[in-house]
Amino acid sequence: MRMPVDDPYGFELPAPAPRVGAAQKKHRKGGFYLYVDLVPTSAWFSNLRAELSPSEWKSCATYAAKRAGFCCEVCEGRGPKWPVECHERWAFDDVTGIQKLVRLEALCPDCHEATHIGLAQARGHYERAAGHLMRVNRWTAEELKVHLREAVAVFKSRSDRPWQLDASLLMSLPIRLSDRSRALIERHAGAARVLPGVSARNQLIEQTLGR
């Protein structure tokens, strides 16, 4: 796989990078800290869009967009075709195995793509996503490498176990949910299912590292 010219890293660094918490944000002038959010492969089937009806997911996206004034909560920008997209932020408890929804964020398409940089790589948009991360965070290429290395380390660790979905946050938001969806949320019906084998896991690792 082709390696981007500004992405010559892997697991060769002598020391682990500083840990960046899944829900951590740093206030910066003009917005918030933008970070890569790799969902564990064992939780790929545990997400809101898979569990909610199209109208319910649209209600979530509309809520997040209106709350943010239809501007990106990270860079304060807007997309050319649609202003923002809804992004789920999860907290992963390594002790209990609970994947808890902590926030619905409104992100512009560029910030959303950068957050899912592994998917961006798979679509051939790695350089664009990496460049956006560096611009928003005022990072050097080396700082980006450190962050991605840490994101991959956390991703690898969390992909080795199943996760139980907790989307109870939705019950407290002004979002219309059907009785079926409420029942699913209440009993944590989105229990994680581990994908067979490790090929998908290794593929995403390679994509994120730009290999």
Q: Which residues of the chain have pLDDT under 70?
A: 1-32, 43-47, 187-211
DSSP state of 190: -
pTM recorded for the entire structure: 0.72
Check residue 173 and give its pLDDT: 92
Q: What is the distance of C-alpha 125 from the center of its chain?
A: 16
From CA 125, how far away is CA 113, in angstroms rounded?
A: 9
Side-chain-facing half-sphere of 102: CA atoms under 13 Å: 12
Note the pLDDT of residue 210.
Answer: 52
pLDDT given for residue 202 in this prediction: 52
The whole-number pLDDT of residue 188 equals: 53
Place of tokens 């992963």: 92
Can you give the pLDDT at residue 1?
32
Per-residue model confidence (pLDDT) at position 209: 53
Write down the pLDDT at residue 48: 76
Q: Which of 74, 53, 72, 51 is nearest to 168 (CA)?
A: 51
Q: Using the structure block, give the residue that is written with the tokens 């789920």.
A: 88
DSSP state of 2: P
